[in-house]
Structure 1
C-alpha cells in the first residue's frame, strides 16, 4: 500500500483526521527519514502535528523543547486526550514536585512516553542531562524556534544554549518550528542550531480571512467598548504592553457589562491558567493580556484581536493577530496607534547594549512604517516575511478606505536643513517649534529665532512637522539617538536626498497625534459626529445661558462636549458626567437644562439611544489627577510636579486642563505670579472675557506671539475657566 497510505492511517488512528493540511505530510516524511527539518508555518497551520505524529510512530522518545509551562500543559493534555495511556506524553519542568518528576522519569525509562516536553531551563540542569543521556531519543523538536534569534520578537537567551546541550545528550535529528520568521531570523535559527543543510518547509503567510486595520488612538477605552458591543458575544483578545494597563482595562470592560478577564505574567499561575481555561470554555468573551498570553492557544473561533498598544515588532504583531479566525471564519485585527507609543517603546530601550538597541530601533521603525503606510497592509506584511502579493488584498482598511497622499519633497528638505542648521543637537519637538516659528522659552534662550530655518515651515502646524520627522526616520534619512535624549541625526541617505530630492508622498492626515487631538475635539462642526440638529439646539441653549450668566459660552461647555452630547444623548445628570470634558462639577452646575432639552428631543424624535457608548469609568482610576490636584493645593512648582510624575510641561498642562474642564476648581495663581507680572496676566484674562472662543491660536494672534508663549496663554486660560466656570 506504500508509506502515504500508512501515514494517513496513523493520522486517522491517533488524531481522527482523514487528510493532512498543507505541507504537514512532507514535513512528517522528512522527520521520519531522519533529516533535520525547518518548519515555518503561520499560526493555525497545524505545526504541532508535524512533530506529534512522527513521535507517536517512531521508536524512542521525542524531546520537545518549549518555552512556556502553560503551553506544555496544554499540549500534553491534548495528546493524552487522543490516547488511552496518560504516560504517552509528559512535561518536565520546575512546576513538578519531586515525586511527580520521578514518575515522569520512570515512564520515560520504561518506554511508555513518546513525547517529553522540556523547558530550555530544565534542559540545562545537570541531573536532567545525565538522565536523558540514557534515553533512546527519536528526535528533538524546538518549538517557537524564533526565541533563538535576537532579531525574533520573543528572544530568550537560554534558547541559544540548546545546540551544545543537545550535542552533549546525544545526536538525533532536529525539527525547528516557528509561526513567524523573516529570512534573517530563519538563517539565525538554522545557524545557531547547526542545521543549515536542513529540509526547509515554508507555508504561505497569507491569511485571507483576516481584516487588518490601524486606527488613531483617540479615546481607546470608548473605541474598544463600542467595538465589542457591536460584536456582542464574540470571542476576542486585547493585547496591552503593561500589566497595569491589562488590569485597568479589564476593570473598565467589566464595569461596562463585558465579560472579560485579565492575563499577565505577574498573576499567580493558578489564576492565570484558570482565566485562560474560562476563555477557552467560553465562560468569558474577552481576555485582556500582555504578550505572555497566546503561544499555542488553540481556540479556533477568536473573532477579533485588538492591540491597545502598538507591538514592538511586525513579527510579534503578525503572531498575535494570527490568533484570530483560525477556523477560516471572520477575524478582525484592529491596532490603536499613536506616535507617542513608539516614543514610549524607544525609552524602554535606553541603557540596553548598543547592538540590542539597534535591533530594537529597526524593528520599531518597521512597525511605525506599517502603521503609517497608505498601501495595502497585507502587501507590507507578506513582503516583510519575504512573500510577494501581486494585487492589493481588498480586505484591509487601506484597501477599503484608501488614504489621500500629498507630495512632501519640499517639506522633507526643509526638515533636514533645520537638523543640519542646529548641528544635529535637538529633538523633533524643538525642531518643529523652530520650523513653525514659535518663540518658546528654549528657542529664546538658544537664540534660535535668528536661524534661517526659524519660521520657514509656518505654512504647517507642529503636528505636521512631527509627522515629517517620523516619515524621514522611517525612510532612513535621519536616525534618532535614543541614548542621547532622542536627538535627530542625519544619515548619508538624508544628505543624498538633499543633494538630489525625489518625489516623496506623505499620507494626508496621517499625523496621528493631530488626529488624536482632533478626535477628542470630535467634530465640533457636528459633521456626522452625532446629531447636527441637536448640536445646533445645544449651542443655542449654551448661548442663552451664557448671556444670562454673563460668561463666554465656552466656559459653560466646550464644543467637543456638545458634540459628544449630540452623539450620546445623555438624559440624566449621572449620564452627563461621563460626557467628554464634563465631569460631576459641571454636570451639577450647568447640566439641568441641557439634559432636559436632550430628553424632550429624544422623545419627540423617537431616538434609539446608544447607551453602550457612555463609557463608565472605574472609580479612583486616575491617581495621577488626584496627585496633581494635591500638589497644586500644596503650591508646588508646576515644573517639579511634571518632573515627579515623569511627563513634560505640555502634558502636565493638558492634564490640568482636563481637570478644570470637568468642573474642578484649581488655583495656580502662585505659579502664574512667578512667570507673568500682574499687567500681563490681566491682559490675557480680559482677552478671554471678551473672546468668542477659547482657541489658543486665536489668542496668540491677538495678544502677539512675540509677547507670550503657548504655555503662558494655556495657563491663564486654566485660571480663567477655573475662576469663572467652576
Structure 2
C-alpha cells in the first residue's frame, strides 16, 4: 500500500479479506483500527473472541514500520506468530526459546522492513538493549495485550507492566494502544494513567458473550458433574479449571480412567511438561486440559466448546477471562461453574496475605462472584452489569436461569416476607448468619442471651437448613431487597424490600439442594449446526489435523471450526467457491484449497451430496430475536409441502434454489415423522429404493445410487430413507 495515501476503511477491509478472509468489521474494530492509523492512544476493551488482535494486526500491515506487541505469555506469542505466518504475514517473537542466531535473523528482517509485527514479553521489551534496538528502527506503534495486568485493581496485576510508562518518554509521538477483555471503568482509567496515555480514546465493547451458555451448579459429586459436561461434547475440546494442583492431577487421572483423553497443567510441572501438555491439547491429541486457575495458561485456541470451573475463580473478572476461552470462534459453547461455599473460605485464606487495600479489593471481587453464583437473575445480565453495562433483553436464552434449569421455590413471596420480617424484628442490627439461626430456631448462646428465641419469627423456618436460609438471604441481597452495611455486613431492608413486605413484588429464590424439579426445561433457540453435514465436518477435522501436524502448527490455525462448518454447509468444490468461505484468505486458499476441495468432492460423491451449495440458507433463529420456530422461507416451504406441492413448485413460489428447498423437504419429512414418501416419490421408485436400502444399508448413499443403476436421484433416496427411519 502506498504509504503517502491515507488509509481508508475500504483499505482495512481489503486487507482483512486478503489475509484473513473476513469481509466485514465486528463491533468497534473499525474505530479501534482508526485510532492506530491516527496515532491516537487508545484503551480497547472487547470480549474474548471479539476480534481484539485484528484491531492492531490489520493496521500494522497498513502503516509503514514495525508494530511492537507486548504479550505476557510465550505460548500466546508463538500461537499469534504462527497464525500470522499461516496467513502470509511476516511476524516474529523474541523470548527465551529463541537462540542467539534466531534473534540476529529476526533483527535483520526487522531492519530490512520485512517483518511487520514483533511480539515481546514486557520484561524483554523494557530492557535497555531492546529499547536501544527499537530506537534504531521505525516503530509504527506499541500494542499492550492483556493490559488489565497494569492495574492493581485488575484481577491479574503484574508489577512489571507498570514500567511500560517509560515507552512514552523513549518514543514520543508513537501511539500506544492497550487491549484487554475484562476491565471495569476504574481499571480502564488506571490503565491509561499508568501508561501515561495522552488524551486516549476509550473504546469499550459489550462484555456480553451471547454464544456462551452459562450454568452454575451446587457442587455435589464433582467428577460426575464434570463427566456429564464432557459427555455432552464428545471429541470436542474443553478446559477444566481447579483451585488446587492435587485436584488437577486427580481429575485428569479420573478422566483418563473413564476413557477421556486429558492432561494436567499447573505450576508444579516442569516447563517442558507444561509446554508438551499444552501442545497436545492445541494439536487435538487430547480433548481436555485440566488446569489451576492461579497459573496462567496461554491458550489462543478458538474451538474450545466448554469450560468447567470445578473450583470457583477468585473474581468475576477472572471468570469472564477464563470462561471466555470457550467459543472464541463465535460458535455455541458451554460454561459450567461448580459452586461451593467452601471455595470462598479457601480463596479468603489464600488472599489473606495481600496488603490491606489490595485485600479489600480482592474480597469485594470475591463477594461479587458469590452473588453471581447464588443469584437467580439472568447470568448474562449479571455479568455485564458488573462491568457497568446493561442487557436490554428480558431473557438471554443462554443461561440456566433463563432456560428454566434453576429450580425456584413456588411460594417465594411468603418465604421472602418471613425472612424480611425476622430482620426487622431483630432490629436490622445483625448479619445473615444470626438472622438465619433465628429463623431456623437455633439454641445458640447468643440467640438466647438476646432473647431472640422469644421473637414471633423464631423457628419460622425450622424445617430448613441454616445454609439454605443463608442462601436465600444472599439472594435477597443480590436482588436488592436487602443491603449489607458497615464492617459487619449488617442487614437492612431497602425500599424494594418494603415493597416485598407489602406483596407488591415477588423475589426469585431457589429450592434447597435435593429438591430438584423434573419439569420440562426450555430449549435454547438457534443452532450453529444448521445445514452442516456432520459427517463432512468430522472428516474435514481429520484433514485439518493432518495438515497441522505436517506444518507443526495448532490445528485451529489451519482453519477454525467456524470455517469448517461453513465448508460442510456449502460444500465448495473449486477454488473460486472455496475462497468465498469466511476465514479463507488468499494464502490459505493457495496452501490448502486444492486438498480441501478435493476432499469435499470425494465425500459428496460418496454420500450423494450436491457440491457448491453456496445458496444454502442458515435457517436457525438467532438468539435474542422474537420467538419463532422457523425462518420465514422454511415456514412457507413447510406449509406448501403440507399442501402436496413439489420441490420445483415450492422453489418457484418462495424464491429459493432447488437444492435449498430439497433440504427443507427432508427436514419437513423428519420433523413431521412422515412414513409415506409417495407424495414426492412414485410408489414404484419408493419400493425400489427401499429394497436397495435393505440390500446396501442406509449409511452411504452412493452404493444405493449405483445399485439402482444410477437412474434414481439422490434427493429421492434421501426422502425414502428419512421415511424408513421414521418407521423405526
Equivalents in 2 of 1:133, 1:332: separation in Å?
A: 46
User: Aligned residue for 1:508?
Assistant: 509
TM-score (norm 1): 0.62
Name the SS of the counterpart of 1:174 in structure 2.
strand
Closer, same or farther: CA 415–258 of 1 in aligned 2, 3 Å: farther
User: Aligned residue for 2:471?
Assistant: 467
1:500 positional shift: 8.8
1:293 positional shift: 7.4
Q: Which one of the candidate residues 11, 35, 42 is aligned to 1:37?
A: 42
Pairwise CA RMSD: 3.4
Equivalents in 2 of 1:420, 1:202: separation in Å?
A: 40
User: Aligned residue for 1:262?
Assistant: 264
The CA deviation string for residues 388-447 of structure 1, in whole angstroms up to 9 with x for no partner, is 3232112211112163334425524635876987xx7xx96677556644446xx3xxx7
User: Aligned residue for 1:411?
Assistant: 419
Q: Which one of the candidate residues 213, 219, 229 is aligned to 2:231?
A: 229
User: Aligned residue for 1:392?
Assistant: 395
Name the SS of the counterpart of 1:477 in structure 2.
strand
Q: Which one of the candidate residues 378, 381, 390 is aligned to 1:379?
A: 381
Higher relative contact order (CA 8 A, sep 6+): 2
User: Aligned residue for 1:24?
Assistant: 29
8 Å contact from structure 1 (residues 307, 335) kept in 2: yes
Closer, same or farther: CA 333–429 of 1 in aligned 2, 3 Å: same
Equivalents in 1 of 2:67, 2:166: separation in Å?
A: 18
8 Å contact from structure 2 (residues 242, 310) kept in 1: yes
Equivalents in 1 of 2:250, 2:346: separation in Å?
A: 19
Equivalents in 2 of 1:392, 1:340: separation in Å?
A: 31
Equivalents in 2 of 1:364, 1:292: separation in Å?
A: 14
Equivalents in 1 of 2:294, 2:356: separation in Å?
A: 26
User: Aligned residue for 1:71?
Assistant: 76
1:458 equivalenced with 2:459 (yes/no): yes
Equivalents in 2 of 1:489, 1:17: separation in Å?
A: 51
1:466 positional shift: 2.8
Aligned residue pairs total 498
1:254 positional shift: 0.9
Name the SS of the counterpart of 1:6 in structure 2.
helix
Q: Which one of the candidate residues 474, 484, 506 is aligned to 1:478?
A: 484
Equivalents in 2 of 1:231, 1:316: separation in Å?
A: 24
User: Aligned residue for 2:92?
Assistant: 90
Q: Which one of the candidate residues 148, 151, 156 is aligned to 1:149?
A: 151
Equivalents in 1 of 2:26, 2:191: separation in Å?
A: 25
Closer, same or farther: CA 361–198 of 1 in aligned 2, 3 Å: same
Equivalents in 1 of 2:29, 2:427: separation in Å?
A: 54
Equivalents in 1 of 2:304, 2:295: separation in Å?
A: 13
Closer, same or farther: CA 173–73 of 1 in aligned 2, 3 Å: same
Name the SS of the counterpart of 1:388 in structure 2.
coil
Name the SS of the counterpart of 1:59 in structure 2.
coil
Equivalents in 1 of 2:245, 2:235: separation in Å?
A: 25
Equivalents in 2 of 1:296, 1:78: separation in Å?
A: 15
Unaligned stretches of 5+ in structure 2?
521-728
Closer, same or farther: CA 140–235 of 1 in aligned 2, 3 Å: same
8 Å contact from structure 2 (residues 374, 471) kept in 1: no
Deviates more, 1:137-146 or 1:340-349: 340-349
Q: Which one of the candidate residues 122, 125, 137 is aligned to 1:120?
A: 122
Equivalents in 2 of 1:466, 1:26: separation in Å?
A: 47
Equivalents in 1 of 2:427, 2:308: separation in Å?
A: 37
Equivalents in 2 of 1:133, 1:479: separation in Å?
A: 54
1:80 equivalenced with 2:88 (yes/no): no
User: Aligned residue for 1:630?
Assistant: none
1:47 equivalenced with 2:47 (yes/no): no
8 Å contact from structure 2 (residues 218, 340) kept in 1: yes
Equivalents in 2 of 1:313, 1:354: separation in Å?
A: 17
Equivalents in 2 of 1:288, 1:416: separation in Å?
A: 47
Equivalents in 2 of 1:363, 1:245: separation in Å?
A: 24
Equivalents in 2 of 1:266, 1:120: separation in Å?
A: 24
1:336 positional shift: 0.9
Closer, same or farther: CA 295–27 of 1 in aligned 2, 3 Å: farther
User: Aligned residue for 2:714?
Assistant: none
Closer, same or farther: CA 394–19 of 1 in aligned 2, 3 Å: closer
1:527 positional shift: 12
Unaligned stretches of 5+ in structure 1?
482-487, 529-726
Deviates more, 1:291-300 or 1:140-149: 291-300
More helix per residue: 1 or 2?
Answer: 1
1:140 positional shift: 0.6
1:459 positional shift: 2.5
Closer, same or farther: CA 111–327 of 1 in aligned 2, 3 Å: closer
8 Å contact from structure 1 (residues 437, 455) kept in 2: no
8 Å contact from structure 2 (residues 33, 55) kept in 1: yes
Equivalents in 2 of 1:295, 1:18: separation in Å?
A: 31
8 Å contact from structure 1 (residues 365, 473) kept in 2: no
User: Aligned residue for 2:348?
Assistant: 346
User: Aligned residue for 1:172?
Assistant: 174
Closer, same or farther: CA 375–432 of 1 in aligned 2, 3 Å: closer
Name the SS of the counterpart of 1:184 in structure 2.
helix
The CA deviation string for residues 568-593 of structure 1, in whole angstroms up to 9 with x for no partner, is xxxxxxxxxxxxxxxxxxxxxxxxxx
The CA deviation string for residues 130-166 of structure 1, in whole angstroms up to 9 with x for no partner, is 3333232110101111212223222222222211344
Closer, same or farther: CA 509–49 of 1 in aligned 2, 3 Å: closer
1:257 positional shift: 1.1
Closer, same or farther: CA 219–23 of 1 in aligned 2, 3 Å: same
